[in-house]
Amino acid sequence: MRLLLSLCCVSDNTHSDNQDKEFTRKVNGTKTQTTTKASIPKAEPYTPERALNLFKKYADQADPDTIGPGGLEALCGDAEIPMEGVLPLLLAWQLNAKDLGTFTKDEWMKGTGNLRTASPQVLRLALSDLEDLLILDKPPLKPSKNELYNRTAYWAYARDTKHSFHEFYAFCFNLAKAEQSRNIDMEVVTALWSVILPPKFPIMNEIIAFINENGTYKAANKDLWIMMLEFCESVKPTLEGYEESGDAWPTLLDDFVEWKRSQGSASSS
């Protein structure tokens, strides 16, 4: 559980509104590193062998066909990928991982093969590009002659960013859900929501505050997961759109609206 949370902890408010070329990232909670695209080592061209060597570097000693949470943390450290932000989730999505915090050799080889990179820095670039496009709603990049990785998937996402975001969002539920379970613990769910949704939907911050304050919600099922995104998309922070939508919202969201209204009337009286 702790490991899960360390993968997707509280929102990374340190995100800097940086250019495509420049990254300032809080690494390991303390030190801040700045890298530029130019400083990405003239990445050796992708070969499956290089990808495999990189995999071995981070693979679990006890289970050499898997990168476990410890290996992932080391990889994120080397690649300057903040563990507490959305990038590790985007990585899991790109590698089509089955479980949060682990990559099998097969997932790794296929995923890095599609991206055509065996460089942690280029991997980070690919993930930052996706974050900009799908989470932060920045305009798509312009195609360039010498791409550092295979951007085929990126261009496909860019053609319909809303659809692609939905795909990513749905992926995350299955990623975080234990195979035999129908629900995800609320603690994990709110950690996921806090990195995926607030940049697009500021109302999500209030919903998380409500969930934490209420303290009685223990888990989220798929219906709540899906409806949360729909709620964010159709209900404004003023709650405009809530009644109009005609949807039967999950109880948690009805409770939230009631809570928010009572807060509003409490502060205005």
Ligand X SMILES: *[C@@H]1O[C@H](CO)[C@@H](O)[C@H](O)[C@H]1NC(C)=O
Distance CA(52)–CA(56), nearest Å, equals 6
Tokens encoding 128: 């930052």
Q: Shortest gap between Cβ of 266 and ligand X (angstroms)?
A: 12
Q: Shortest gap between Cβ of 17 and ligand X (angstroms)?
A: 24
Nearer to ligand X, 116 or 177 (CB): 116
Q: Shortest gap between Cβ of 28 and ligand X (angstroms)?
A: 4
Residue among 43, 44, 22, 42 at smallest CA distance from 34: 22
Q: Shortest gap between Cβ of 31 and ligand X (angstroms)?
A: 7
Look up tokens 């607030």; give the residue: 198
Distance CA(255)–CA(267), nearest Å, equals 18
Binding site residues, ligand X, CB under 6 A: 28-30, 114, 116, 150, 152-153, 214, 216, 255, 259
Alpha carbon distances (Å) from 152 to 8, 90, 157, 176, 201 = 27, 16, 9, 27, 28
Nearer to ligand X, 34 or 38 (CB): 34
Nearer to ligand X, 19 or 267 (CB): 267
Q: Shortest gap between Cβ of 179 and ligand X (angstroms)?
A: 26
Cβ–Cβ under 8 Å, residues 127 and 157: no
Tokens encoding 75: 């990889």
Nearer to ligand X, 180 or 216 (CB): 216
∠ CA 50-54-55, rounded to 5°: 115
Nearer to ligand X, 9 or 199 (CB): 9
